[in-house]
Amino acid sequence: MIIGNPAAKRCVYLPHSPNIPDGWQYKQQNAMEHLLEVNSNHWRKIFVISAKIFCDDADEWRSYLRQNLLHSVCFYTDEQQLNTTADVILLSGKEIAQRLLPDTNPSVLNDKILRLGEHCWQLPYFDYRQFPNQLIADFRQCLI
Pick the CATH number of 2-142 from 1.10.10, 2.40.50, 3.30.530, 3.30.379: 3.30.379
The secondary structure of the chain as a DSSP string is -EEE-TT-SEEEEESS-----TT--TTSTTHHHHHHHTS-HHHHHHHHHHHHHH-SSGGGHHHHHHHTHHHHEEEEES-SS--TT-SEEEEESHHHHHHH-TT--PEESSSS-EEEETTEEEE--SSTTTS-HHHHHHHHHHT-
pLDDT of residue 108: 83
Share of the chain above pLDDT 70, in %: 100
Share of the chain above pLDDT 90, in %: 87
pTM of the model: 0.95
The arithmetic mean of pLDDT across residues 95-100, rounded, is 92
pLDDT at 104 > cutoff 90: no
pLDDT at 13 > cutoff 90: yes
